[in-house]
Amino acid sequence: MIAMSCRNSETYMCREAHLVQKRKGGITLPLCSRPSAPGEITQRSCAFYGARWMLAPLEDAIHIVHGPVGCAYYGGTVRGRSFRVFSTALEEKDIVFGGGKRLIRTLKEAKAIMPHARYIFVYATCSTAIIGDDIDSICKKMEKELGCPVIFVNCPGFKGDSQASGHRIAFESLLNRLIGQGQRTEVGNYDVNIIGDYNINGESMVLKSLLEKMGIRVRCIFTGHADYEGIIAAHRVRLNLLVCQSSGRFLAEALQKRYGIAYLKVTFLGPSQTMASLRKIGQFLGLEREAERVIATGYKAIKPGLDRFLPKLRGKRAALFFGAARMASLIKALDDMGTEVVFTGSQFGDLTTYKETWQTVNPGTYIIDDASEHDLEHLLDELRPDVFMGGIKEQSLSHKFGIGFCLFPQLKCAGPYVGFQGFLNFASSVHNAVYAPVWKFAKLNPNSSPHSADRKPRKSWFSCHCEACPPVPFVPSLQLPGKPGVGRRGGTTEAIS
Ligand code: SF4
């Protein structure tokens, strides 16, 4: 938790413009894509972890983390699931004399343990980047000896502001070393790739089967369901379907530029977006009738379930905080439920993510970038949503406030949440979180309950509890009519183009 001693503290001043409230008029976006402020205690991960986030599902590869064993331990678990990683486990003497020899030894050992692996990823970490190990040339040298591509993923933790830079580095590695290596033979009329789906609770399989019902063949799902053969042939498709714009946009645009493959932005969260996406794909590929058939069958199957859950969820208030993936899509899915979003935030959203979010939420909604636990605590305390959706880190915080919690988007959530049946799963999870019987018995701290007569009003937003600071009303960002640089300390303002 941030212990800010005074409203004039540097952290307080840096953080203020990262929170905005949507008001009518021009767009007000939170300050984003910046390094976290010292003292903020950010919940972001490093670029190395971002690369692991992308590449971990490629289980036919060997993954070697070149650095201290702590980095490998950190990168071994992704989205709540443990993956096999090898580590060079550097020690002090390797930092002094170089870790190249250890890397060569680890490459040989790992290949002996997994002889059938088709390719190897070697991840740089902070320490090996700082000492200047020439990982790239070692990888190139070892390729001949090991007989498979040895791909250097240049992702030291300090590269970029957050894990988002690691996502791009990972896709660059695939693009430069693997994609396009397979022969560009005949391209099927209905061959597609999906970009930006990570198979959380089997979501990739749901999407694949939905598209297969329309007669579409999915070649490769980056990276939820991808293997060596799929990746090297990923340039042999007619269309790319971009599911997560924040993480997948780079690859979709690069494939369009390099191979002329068009891409469509689609999302399968909530029935309205699923229907719109299937129609869009159908229209592009000339499969309109097939799309209508899949929509009719899918919606009919979940209608009785929706009639059970939706009336009870209408008018409920939700709060969201997770990476950056699919924020606007999730808000639209909640809209299908009749559930309003009171605040939403992400750890590493960029201007595009926040602009899309801003266009989706209702006036009055707060949008926060790179929130610390302290920030979330304030927002939960002030806005009191009925349900909070976030990663596993936020679960206990939410429960301490007596607010139902819904895990998203991680392996242990009750998903898959995509497609028609997925929306029913999602509605059921939100319903269970909101109406869990435990909330009837939970005794809340009078100071944290908005309904308590004894509750002391909070003095300010990024609050300081010292007596010297005067109270500030809970208006985190003020829109100055007709003036740019909105936000008390200048958030980002842009006109909708
Ligand atoms: S920040 Fe650096 S040291 Fe920490 S886990 Fe990431 S790569 Fe390893």
DSSP 24-65: SSSEEE---SSPPPTTS------HHHHHHHHHTT-TTEEEEE
Residue 56 CA to ligand 1 center (angstroms) comes to 16
pLDDT of residue 339: 94
| pLDDT tens digits along 185-240 | 677 889 999 999 988 888 999 999 999 999 999 999 999 999 999 999 999 999 99
Nearest alpha carbon, ligand 1 atom 6: 157
Ligand 1 neighbours by CB, cut-off 6 Å: 46, 48, 67, 71, 74, 125-126, 156-157
Task: Report all structural domains of the chain as residue ranges with CATH numbers, in order of start.
Answer: 1-31+314-497 (3.40.50.1980), 47-177 (3.40.50.1980), 191-297 (3.40.50.1980)
In this predicted model, what pLDDT tens digit does every residue of 389-441 receive, in sequence order? 998 888 999 988 889 999 876 666 667 899 999 999 999 999 999 999 888 77
Residue 105 has pLDDT above 70, yes or no: yes
With the most atoms of ligand 1 within 8 angstroms of its CB, the residue from 36, 46, 63, 85 to mutate is 46
- Report the sign of the C-alpha dihedral through residues 168, 173, 176, 182, in that order: negative
Taking CA atoms only, the protein residue closest to ligand 1 atom 5 is 71
pLDDT at residue number 443:
59
Are the CB atoms for 377 and 357 separated by under 8 Å?
no
CA of 46 to the centre of ligand 1 (A): 6
**How many Å lie between the centroid of ligand 1 and the Cα of residue 200?**
24
**Contact yes or no for 476/20 (Cβ under 8 A):** yes
Instruction: Give the distance, in angstroms, between the CA of residue 393 and the centroid of all CA atoms in the same chain.
Output: 14
Q: For residue 25, what pLDDT band results from cuts at 50, 70 and 90?
A: confident
Strands 239-242 and 340-346: unpaired
pLDDT at 47: 96
pTM across the whole model: 0.85
The CA distance from 227 to 443, in Å, is 50
Averaged pLDDT of the chain = 85
Q: Using the mean position of ligand 1's atoms as its centre, give its distance from the Cα of residue 47 in Å.
A: 8
CA distances from 40 to 3, 21, 165 (A): 9, 21, 20
* pLDDT digit string, tens, across residues 344-367: 999 988 898 999 999 999 999 999
Q: What percent of the chain has pLDDT over 90?
A: 64
